[in-house]
Structure 1
């Protein structure tokens, strides 16, 4: 994390990232790791969930749903299994926080999973990991093995030796749609990853039709700190409705890109200052607060507190806090076209609005980028996006519509230039590129 000397940063999950081999069990335990789990064993039924509720922790995967409330939705125990599934299928353009957490501090997730399983009365947890990140898969597997060898997972746990906890790391096959919780569950069961109709929700009928909690990596990795330090400690950070700390991932045309773990409510202007500002000699043109599926914002929104409700009030969503920075050399049309390509490719095809809409938006965006657009294309794009948003089976359709609608709203003139001039003439590739290929002689 950088820069670690700033008083505005709150290194909790990232507090050991600068230590030698921070992913090792020994490093984690030397910094107080697994003390929260030791403490959790002494909590009575329902107390862990109530503590998480009191802390104000909200889901860090994008939706921001209260975590403790989600855990409490599980029906009363009936003697059958109850599961925890951790969504580590981080796939959206710009979103890049869970993979670094798993690489640098996997035991924070493992400890959080054990605590969550104790809280919900479950005995088996799964981590659904994006299959392409083989290095992360190996590291997480090694960390789970360390926890088993140390007696932190397995049979006969707890002060009475009567609790079993198992964790399975499952590698998916690289489908963005499997980041949607019900598609993830289908994939985990060996089926084709497609969204399920809700209700029933996973809390009632999830993995193998049993009560299941589905949470993001960062959400569960935040739990040990709450149990160890208390709900008031966590709630003392952030804003009134967006409490605690979280990762803010800065990428793009910024001097020092990286992960900044800070309290909610920090502003983009403050984060940009920590990151050294926009790259030398350039100025900010637009940015995203939560990856490619959130409405783009301009420089006028730099002082908006980065909390869930505050960013919605500014016309976007905080989501995964993937802060992509673009300077004046960037073609909005080119960026939105690339995002549209992604959503069209990743659509599972289950519902008509998303399947057909993303296909046609992609065709129109390619025309506009090439300077071959029709005078009617921009209004047609807006119409197609409007026919997808709120009408698709899952949130992928909404995600595909948002960048197009917000791009046109903020930069309509630039889209209109796509009727007669290619984007690469208006905004040459070499001007916005951060890296250049180096030939080998």
Structure 2
């Protein structure tokens, strides 16, 4: 052992020895353990399965000898394991390094970031776009930058947690309308007539239920009342609609939404990153005021290059979105015919509604024993009494994969009395 290493070891041991918890910590720990015990007793304690392979249609799971079929990933296009996408990340690591070690306006912005922002804007048919470390950051950075005390914001009650957190940061007058309730939204817009700016905020697809926002009606109301429309399209970008352009295309209203936020961490490569795409003026203002953009490191070059390759693939072919749609139709049809209730609007998020939290958890565990990786969702992720197993279809699933999943559901559902 070198003298330097011994000195460092002695130093850190000494520092560790000086650490003492506060007198309050033991009581807090006991209180928290009580809360955790209550969660376990309710059957809603969430454990994390450890994956030992790349994300794909089949994955390795620690403790299991054989790989299992994966039906609970946001990897809708199957591109997180695509060889061209992986190679793009490797090449960028060689040419552009691991990262800039800071934010873009301080250390400069790399050419590949600018190129990706251009591709995103082109893909969505917008003027410009701005990259963030995640869509959670994009949602956290937009409302405070665009809305003040003289403005009003109307948000669907089932919007994603990142939208809720972002909305809390802004000083606008806040309204929350019942899920997809256009009459209540109209009343709120009427009440906010005198405000400077009015923004309607909604998920494009609501990820827990797989249902789609009534965007045409929302845009019609926005036109009537002079409001702007914001959509979080994380569970639509790349795969929903004939060419994967998202909820707008799926509903036949392309170009009507004013601001789209989305992610690179689901269909678009599966790594991380998010963005806002909109008019040039809005994007310019976000570069000046959006705190998560100004105070967070830029995306790592491998992530940028991988996402850029995904956009290249999607702008030259629409075969993958078609495959997702076909698998979705097959799963939903067979499950419904078997007697299961599958929520949602023909979306590859297919919540198999079970109601009881313990039943959802135990059925998901039994599915894993049959080689199918799915997860039970229960409170607080979904409301009490609405537990479900959320199945997600991908372009890389074969018809045989889909049938094997459905057959396992039917076998377990019959044995547990879910199916009569």
Relative CO higher for 1 or 2, CA cutoff 8 Å, sep ≥ 6? 2
* TM-score tier (shorter): under 0.3
